[in-house]
Amino acid sequence: MGSYWDFSTVNEISILPALMIAAQYDRARILRPTWRPKAINVHRWEPQVRRFLEEVGFLELCGVRDKTEEMLHYSDVSLLRFRRGETVDGQAVGEYFAQLGIDLGTENPMLYDAITEAITNVINHAYGKEQLNPAQTVKAWWLCAMLKTGQAHKELSIVVYDQGASIPRTLPYSTKYESIKKSLLDLFGIDFDSDDPTNDAKAISCAMRPGASATGESHRGRGLAQIVEVLDLSLGGHLSIYSRQGSVEAKKSPGGSVEISPVNRAMAIIGTAIVWHLVL
């Protein structure tokens, strides 16, 4: 990671890259406590970019402001500063959403289930000890949420992000790896190699099938399905999973089935991000 990044060339930023940037700098600061990322030319940044990076907590990491508000409101958007955790801490999740005025205790329980399952997957699978350099790894999850209230419906965006080994790289550790490999061969004609990112998106889409888990034990493996299930709550909502070079979008069809679209991207990301956009 360089010593500074000039965001004055960025025209617009969304919640996912804002969180990923903040999380990477957060990890760097944990590993090197005396280091502080530099934000330069802040006055020249596009207002939307500055606002997102400020609200998500990045500018505080840079020391541009010592302590920003936990949540700043502007226009019809409320974006919460990210939360980091290293265990499945449902209370922290509940308190986080309460700041947005969302009581997970009265919302459909599928919402809490999906978020905590995503965090459980991070804790159990993202940071395989054989795959990552411990000197550069912080075994954590980062959570961020944004609420748009200006239209007829509320739009809730949630991101759970980790900086782990990625879904495609952890698949060979599964006893269901052979089943996933067979699905890739049968459905797409692909002989999957976890070191080759070319087919990451299709590999993720096969791993999302109910019952496919990273451990292969028969009692595990509903996690990814439950992460998708929350789309039942939301007409017009969708879920995106980004992992290494793969991205998969899942949305409900008018008939109620889940349509999954895998797309491989030119650039890899570190780890895995799960993004829900829900229309409430």
Partner 1 sequence: MATVINIAKDFSPFPGGRERSDGPHTGQAFREDFLAPALEKGHVTLVLDGVMGLPSSFFEEALGGLVRTRFTLRQLRELLTIEAKTARMSLYPARGWDFIERAAMHPPSPGPLKKSA
Q: Which residues bind partner 1 (CB under 8 A)?
A: 87-91, 93-94, 104-106, 108-113, 116-117, 119-120, 123-124, 130, 172-175, 177, 194, 214-220, 222-223, 225-226
CB of 213 to partner 1, least distance (A): 9
Q: Smallest Cα–Cα separation from 80: which of 146, 27, 158?
A: 146
CB of 97 to partner 1, least distance (A): 10
155's enclosing H/E stretch is: strand 155-162
Tell me whether residue 91 or residue 253 sits nearer to partner 1 (CB atom). 91
Tell me whether residue 69 or residue 217 sits nearer to partner 1 (CB atom). 217
Tell me whether residue 194 or residue 247 sits nearer to partner 1 (CB atom). 194
38's enclosing H/E stretch is: strand 38-39
Tell me whether residue 6 or residue 216 sits nearer to partner 1 (CB atom). 216
Spatial separation of the C-alpha atoms in residues 100 and 71, rounded to whole Å: 8
Give Cβ neighbours of residue 235 (< 8 Å, ≥ 6 apart). Answer: 252, 279
CB of 208 to partner 1, least distance (A): 14
Spatial separation of the C-alpha atoms in residues 91 and 94, rounded to whole Å: 5
Residue 115 structure tokens: 């978020």
Residue 268 structure tokens: 């890899």
CB 122 within 8 A of CB 64: no
Spatial separation of the C-alpha atoms in residues 117 and 88, rounded to whole Å: 9
Q: Smallest Cα–Cα separation from 209: which of 172, 179, 234?
A: 179
CB of 100 to partner 1, least distance (A): 15
CB of 169 to partner 1, least distance (A): 9
Tell me whether residue 5 or residue 172 sits nearer to partner 1 (CB atom). 172
Tell me whether residue 61 or residue 167 sits nearer to partner 1 (CB atom). 167
Q: From residue 262, how far is each of 34, 61, 207 by CA, in Å?
A: 41, 34, 12
CB of 206 to partner 1, least distance (A): 17
